[in-house]
Amino acid sequence: MNAGKLRHRVELQRFIETQNPETGAVIRGFSTVAKLWAEVVPSSVREFIAAQSEQSEVTGRITLRYRPDITNKYRIVYRGKVYDIIGVLPDPESGIEYLTLAIKEGVSDG
């Protein structure tokens, strides 16, 4: 893996649920797990009509150093935009050098 390509700073976030100690209400949100260096490559934009409103979905890939904990239950934040992780692919040679994340940004917003 060429480390020089990892020039984008991204945040890896996971969904958490906590309980408000005063009211007992469940608070849902995201927590930053790590800030990582990655290569972010958008690959296509698809325009479509959903619920009679025009929306767009950007798909692409993010390449970063291997981490065993990353799953599609996490999300990536890059330059203020939220990207859902669709799939996690290990490198084809060793499987532990880097990961390629298939991502989408848009409709679900994480």
Looking at residue 79, its pLDDT comes to 93
* pTM, 2 dp: 0.78
Query: Which residue type occupies 70?
Result: I
Torsion of CA 18, 23, 25, 27, to 10 degrees: -40
Domains of the chain: 3-105 (2.40.10.270)
Q: Give the pLDDT of residue 43.
A: 80
pLDDT, residue 110, reads: 42
What are the mean pLDDT values of the chain's consecutive 10-residue runs (110 residues total)?
A: 83 92 90 95 67 66 94 93 92 91 70
Question: Which pLDDT score, from 0 to 100, does residue 4 have?
Answer: 79
- C-alpha 89 chain-centroid distance: 13
Q: What distance in Å separates the CA atoms of residue 17 and residue 109, rounded to the nearest whole number?
A: 18
DSSP of 53-87, one letter per residue? Answer: EEEEEEEEEEEEE--TT--TTEEEEETTEEEEEEE
